Amino acid sequence: MKKRVQLLLDRDVRKLGKAGDVVDVAPGYARNYLIPQKMAVPTTPGILKQVELRKQQELERIAQLKRDAESQKTALETIGRFTVQKQVGEGDAIFGTVTDREVAAAIQETTGQEVDRHTITLPEINKTGFYKAQIKLHPDVSAQIEIHVTPL
């Protein structure tokens, strides 16, 4: 088996890896293509330490995001119920529907916390009453809240 060369990718390289990855490639591929095109640089012990440090910092950042999402979930579920007022017609039927924007605004108004409206999953709401909504705060953390739809 021929000797392989270890490189740090500066850019994403299709079928090889993403920027910041350490890869083993054939010496000719490294010498004739990756290095001249400034897609990669040869690794040194210093570069390997920097890569390891960056990976560690990224893991800490992801863990911090998850802790923040957990605390936001606790705050949302402690309050638990948010009220949205809608114009009502006959038989408690509301005009239009309750949107994720209205729920996000109600959360912002009540808690002062901003929630991305795209992460809110609502059931079909067409009458006044109580409904459950799901908010995905993080890939591993989601909160369940109650929406109280009242007449305006």
CATH number of the domain residue 18 falls in: 3.40.5.10
Q: Give the CA-trace dihedral at 119, 123, 125, 130, to 10 degrees.
A: -100
The verdict on 47 and 19 lying in the same domain is: yes
Q: Number of structural domains, the chain? A: 2
pLDDT at 118 over 90: yes
pLDDT at 67 over 60: yes
pLDDT at 83 over 70: yes
The verdict on 76 and 111 lying in the same domain is: yes
Q: Which CATH number does the domain housing residue 89 bear? A: 3.10.430.100
Tokens of 15: 């079928």
> Which of 61, 86, 107 is the last residue before a domain boundary?
61
The verdict on 83 and 115 lying in the same domain is: yes
The verdict on 56 and 70 lying in the same domain is: no
- On the CB side of 28, how many CA atoms lie within 13 Å of its CA? 1
User: What pLDDT sits at residue 152?
Assistant: 83
Average pLDDT, the chain: 91
d(CA 61, CA 99): 32
pTM of the model: 0.67
The verdict on 35 and 76 lying in the same domain is: no
Please, which pLDDT band fits residue 23 given cuts at 50, 70 and 90?
very high
Mean pLDDT confidence for 56-75? 93
Please, which pLDDT band fits residue 1 given cuts at 50, 70 and 90?
low
The verdict on 87 and 52 lying in the same domain is: no
40 within 8 A of 26, measured Cβ to Cβ: no
User: What pLDDT sits at residue 126?
Assistant: 87
Domain of residue 71 covers: 66-151
